[in-house]
Structure 1
């Protein structure tokens, strides 16, 4: 992740801490903030200076206090907090969804680099991650062939997905109320409600929100192997099923409701309710995914 993206992500998380504390509250020490935000003290200092410049903090050192309430839109846009590799992934997924990409489609890395405004190295690294799973095959002259999925492949991946997410959900539940992830989860809840209100015009936007929601849950139990594998999960479960355009708006509306139930379960702090909400949503996603595969994919 680029240092600028690290700073912006830390700034947004720090805003959550400050907002929860409220005007007049003392700001945690740099060491504590470094631990809670998962960044270096150098980055923490940059965050504190920027927050002071923007009028959210006053004072210095251990005497810093929250000067005023934090506005809802005070943070950096989500896109600016992403690593370059994550931005490439997001653009690629959006390209596949909007372009209605089908199995057998040829992918040119030079063309993608031009469309995404990035170097070919980043595109090639991204595609290489998928090639080892047999989803994309390298062809001569900088070309790639998208091969698609089978029900057997999807079924195996669902087993892994459920295991990962149930583990992460319990890890999230164990985090203290002061952890930044709870503020981010509440903000995610607002995004779901906003999208639900405008579902007729914005139902396509659910793909990105779905991806970020599940990644947020999985971030509660960091694991480099799970993070890498989740790129494949994202491609299949958050995009491939949408190639079946039938009832897309209705399906996304149902999924938003399941997410909101899932979020509500987290804030009840009831492990049983969380497990049930997780299992119910993943089972629904599995049915949708299997129903999207054509007979030739079986």
Structure 2
């Protein structure tokens, strides 16, 4: 099992959780038990054990696997590295549309997308079926998938639902406490990197924006909200009709707004964070309506 695979990294993080919940100088169970505990194969268990030994968390000799110390936070793989390719399909699809500047009526072939993303045609088909219920993607009878138009009414309705979901999820996130807030605070460095050279780095913002908002969406733990957020990302961050005219300025403002939320969380000021979040959502709505090119307009 390659240590670069998402399966290894996810299993490794589970191993760190298990070791961190105990003390030191205790023995890990058998490889069979660990495989079940970490939801990986015995081959992957051995790779994980070797990785733990390499960094001095355990000592491993034959059946003896002794814990030497607890893991540190920095030794965990980040969440975006533990996702499988199938789990990354929404982002891969968004970037495909964004980079290709695809227009309404463009044909989408499952086999071509599967090859481009490195997944099975079945995974692509299931993904497209989920998106099709929103009307942006449609399967024509006896034909391939196509991209449909994007209307102002659609955007207004979509944003109303986005605001409702995000405010609910963010309120729960604020109530969760400092340990949960740290997940957003940890994104400060990426924001400051973009801001330091905004004229070149502004194109990196859509992916960071998705990661930023997904933090409290995922923490909320509601599968329906999480599923809806995939569509939100498609429309608000990667949509093929996005007007590039003022993209740098839009992204610049959004980075600053994100940093205001981060600063409020760092200060432990939940009310300020909530106000900054509401300001950000208001700006996002104005940005969408003023920057998108609507069907029937030029």
**TM-score range relative to shorter protein:** 0.7 to 0.9
Separation (CA, whole Å) in 2 of partners of 1:247 and 1:49: 51
When residues 97 and 108 of structure 1 are mapped into structure 2, their CA distance, relative to the original with a 3 A threshold, is same
* Equivalences, count: 273
2:21 corresponds to which residue? 28
Deviations 1:162-195 (A, max 9, x none): 1211222222222244x4x444323322111122
With the length of structure 1 as denominator, give the TM-score of the two structures: 0.78
Q: 1:190-229 alignment to 2 at 5 Å?
A: 190-229=189-228
Deviation at 1:75, TM superposition (A): 4.9
2:290 corresponds to which residue? 291
Counterpart of 1:195 in 2: which secondary structure? helix
2:9 corresponds to which residue? 8
Does structure 2 conserve the Cα–Cα contact (< 8 Å) formed by 1:241 and 1:288? no
When residues 263 and 275 of structure 1 are mapped into structure 2, their CA distance, relative to the original with a 3 A threshold, is same
Separation (CA, whole Å) in 1 of partners of 2:12 and 2:235: 32
Does structure 2 conserve the Cα–Cα contact (< 8 Å) formed by 1:56 and 1:66? no
Q: 1:101-140 alignment to 2 at 5 Å?
A: 101-140=102-141
Does structure 1 conserve the Cα–Cα contact (< 8 Å) formed by 2:152 and 2:294? no
Deviation at 1:157, TM superposition (A): 1.5
2:30 corresponds to which residue? none
Counterpart of 1:65 in 2: which secondary structure? coil
Structure 2 unmatched runs, 5+ = 24-34
When residues 7 and 168 of structure 1 are mapped into structure 2, their CA distance, relative to the original with a 3 A threshold, is farther
With the length of structure 2 as denominator, give the TM-score of the two structures: 0.78
Separation (CA, whole Å) in 2 of partners of 1:277 and 1:241: 28
- Which structure has the larger Rg over C-alpha atoms? 2
Structure with greater helix percent: 1
Does structure 1 conserve the Cα–Cα contact (< 8 Å) formed by 2:151 and 2:294? no
Higher relative contact order (CA 8 A, sep 6+): 1
Structure 1 unmatched runs, 5+ = 18-25, 31-39
